[in-house]
Amino acid sequence: MLIVSLRSRNADLLQWPNGSAGSSSADQVPSVVYYTNPATRAKCWGYETPPARLRPAPQQLQWFKLLLQMNNSAPRRADGPGLDSMFRRLSVRSFRSKGKQPAASASSVGGFSPPTITPTHETAGYLHDIGITPVQVVSDFLQAVRELARASIKQSYRFQWVESSKINYILTIPAIWSDSAKNLMVQAAEAAGYGTHRVDFNLISEPEAAAAYTLKVVQPNNLNLGDTFIICDAGGGTGRKLAATYSRYS
C-alpha cells in the first residue's frame, strides 16, 4: 500500500494503467510484474500484465514482497536463504517447467515430505534464473507506482505547485517483518526514487494503516471517544489482528 501526502493534502490514486471496467478505478492494483526483457528489466506491471495465453515463455512474478522476509538480496541467491538448496534438492526447475509438483522421494521416509511449491517459491526460482534479486523487483514495482502517483497528482493540482512542493510517502509493510526485511524494503524504496528514509518516506505496519483508514471511513458518525475496535488484516500472504482504542480527536 502507498499513501502519498502533499503538504496537508492526501492524493488518492484511482486510475490504473490498462485497467478494465471495474478495475481501472479500484482501490488497489495487483502486485504483479512481468519482465518483457529481464536483461534490461523492461516490464509490465499491475493490470498491464498480459494474460497467460498471450504471454511468451517468461512468467509473471507475484508474491515477491514476501521474499524480503527471507532476508537475502545477494545476486544469484535471489530466492532467499534455504530456497536455493531446496530447489536443487527437489529439482524444482524441471517440475516447474512441466507444471507439476515434485514427487516424494526416499527422503520422505521418517516423516520428511517435500515442501509444497507455492507461488512465492515459483517467483523465487524464476528470479534466480534471470539474475534479478527480490529487492530489485520490489524496487521496480514501487518505481512504477511512484511515477503513476506523481502523474496523477499533477493532473489534480497545478503542475508548478506540485513541482515546488515536498511530497511525503508512506509505505506499509507486514507487522511481522524483521528489521532485516524492513531494511531491504528501505533499500528498494530508495532505489525506486522515494528519497531518504524518515525524511521523504516512512514505513508503518499494515494493521496500523488499516486502523487509520478505519478511523477516516467511520468518522464522524459511528465511533466515539473511548470506543475500541478490532482490525483483521488478512490477505497478501499474511494475516494479523489489531485492537485499537479511539482516545482523542486529531
Chain segment 2-55, per-residue pLDDT in tens: 555 444 455 555 578 887 656 555 677 889 999 989 999 999 999 888 877 666
Residue 191 has pLDDT above 90, yes or no: yes
The mean pLDDT of the chain is 76
Q: pTM for the complete prediction?
A: 0.76
The confidence score (pLDDT) of residue 174 equals: 87
| pLDDT more than 90, % of the chain | 28
In angstroms and rounded to an integer, the radius of gyration of the C-alpha atoms of the chain is 21
Query: CA 48, CA 44: separation in Å to the nearest integer?
Result: 5
Match 526514487 to its residue by C-alpha cell. Answer: 193
- Of residues 21 and 230, the one with the higher pLDDT is 230
Section 190-202 average pLDDT? 96
Q: What residues contact 153, with CB distance under 8 A and at least 6 apart?
A: 4, 6, 11, 162, 167
- Identify whether the C-beta of residue 209 lies closer than 8 Å to the C-beta of residue 157: no
Query: CA 60, CA 36: separation in Å to the nearest integer?
Result: 10
Query: CA 183, CA 188: separation in Å to the nearest integer?
Result: 9
Task: Cite the DSSP H helix spans in the chain.
Answer: 83-90, 92-98, 119-130, 134-156, 159-163, 179-191, 206-218
What's the pLDDT tens digit per position in 235-250?
A: 666 677 888 887 776 5
Q: What residues contact 99, with CB distance under 8 A and at least 6 apart?
A: none
Point out which residues pair with 10 in neighbouring strands: 5
The confidence score (pLDDT) of residue 85 equals: 47
Nearest to 142, CA basis, from 112, 174, 169: 169
Point out which residues pair with 205 in neighbouring strands: 173
